[in-house]
Amino acid sequence: KVLAVEGIDVIAYVVQVGQLTARVEPERVTLEQVEQLPDGRPNAVRCPDPQVALQMVELIQALRKDRDSIGGVAEVVARGVPAGLGEPVFDKLRADLGKAILSLPAVMGVEFGSGFRAAAMRGSEHNDPFSQRDGRIVTTTNHHGGMLGGISSGMPIVLRAALKPTSSIPRPQETVNRSGESTTIVVGGRHDPCLLPRFVPMAEAMVALTLVDHLLRDRARRGGPRPSAPPTGPS
């Protein structure tokens, strides 16, 4: 509710399972696309690309039969975040978001904006030029993922989390016993062949909580709510 009052919405969704990768526009994705397929059926894998979502479901079902598991990538977008949240050094918004996501189980890495693709880009390619659009200050690209120098820029905040495959699989796996002798272990019980669908609401919640924290810090510094200011970011 705090975020809604500020005009901020946070949506998380699956963009990759194994080698299957969805094409999603973070600025335009909707919660309905994440939760429901075009024919009205529930979107079990929570991928807003319906064709790829069905392929992901087939892959996960096949892995379940094969007693194996697979990892993937979830993406989170926060739209409507005002410019100026965060700190330049010790409490960077990007660092706090990274800590929040890395605190969740199975996360192996986090990237923001262009992420690791930035390592292969030139400065002239990665820099996001500022411009005006319908009276709003925006950047024509969003390689920075909505944060510059640890502070929100007013553009959508975009981050991705890479998840490992579920480690508890019902296949025999090599290990050692308490005596240090080689043996095998088979994990019993029910285990998900892919953690991504369950991860989506957790990632969404962690990003929302982090943004609320920074909004309250900002309010405390100002001694009250933010004054009216020229809007930034896409409408």
Q: CA gyration radius for the chain?
A: 20
The string of pLDDT tens digits covering residues 101-145 is 999 999 999 999 999 999 999 999 999 999 998 888 899 999 999
Task: Choose among 65, 84, 73: nearest CA to 6.
Answer: 84
pLDDT in tens, 21-78: 999 999 999 999 999 999 999 999 999 999 999 999 999 999 999 999 999 999 999 9
Query: Cα separations (Å) of 38 from 24, 33, 50, 51, 211?
Result: 15, 8, 7, 10, 31
Q: Evaluate whether 174 touches 151 at the Cβ level (below 8 Å).
A: no
CA distances from 206 to 10, 11, 28, 58 (A): 10, 11, 21, 29
Domain ranges of the chain: 2-166+189-222
Q: What is the pLDDT of residues 207-221, one digit of tens each?
A: 999 999 999 999 898
**Which pLDDT score is estimated for 228?**
56
Percent pLDDT > 70 in the chain is 96
Count how many Cα atoms sit within 13 Å of the Cα of residue 158 in the half-sphere of its side chain: 19
Share of the chain above pLDDT 90, in %: 84
pLDDT value at 192 more than 60: yes
Confidence (pLDDT) at 154: 95
Instruction: Provide mean pLDDT across the span 164-176.
Output: 93
* One-letter amino acid for residue 93 of the chain: L
Longest alpha-carbon distance in the chain: 71
Q: Which two tokens stand for residue 174?
A: 């090599």
For the domain made up of 2-166+189-222, the CATH class stated in words is alpha beta
pLDDT for 227: 66
Is the confidence at residue 182, as pLDDT, over 70?
yes
pLDDT at 229 over 50: no
**pLDDT at 233 exceeding the cut of 70:** no
Distance, in Å, from the CA atom of 23 to the CA atom of 175, rounded to the nearest integer, reads 40
What pLDDT is attached to residue 188?
84
Where does the chain show beta strands of DSSP type E?
Answer: 9-17, 20-21, 72-79, 107-112, 130-133, 136-139, 147-148, 151-152, 157-163, 173-176, 182-185
| CA 52 from centroid of its chain's CA atoms | 18
Helix (H) or strand (E) holding 98: helix 93-102
Alpha-carbon distance of 178 to 181, in angstroms, equals 7
pLDDT bin (cut points 50, 70, 90) of residue 191 is confident
Choose between 187 and 229: higher pLDDT.
Answer: 187
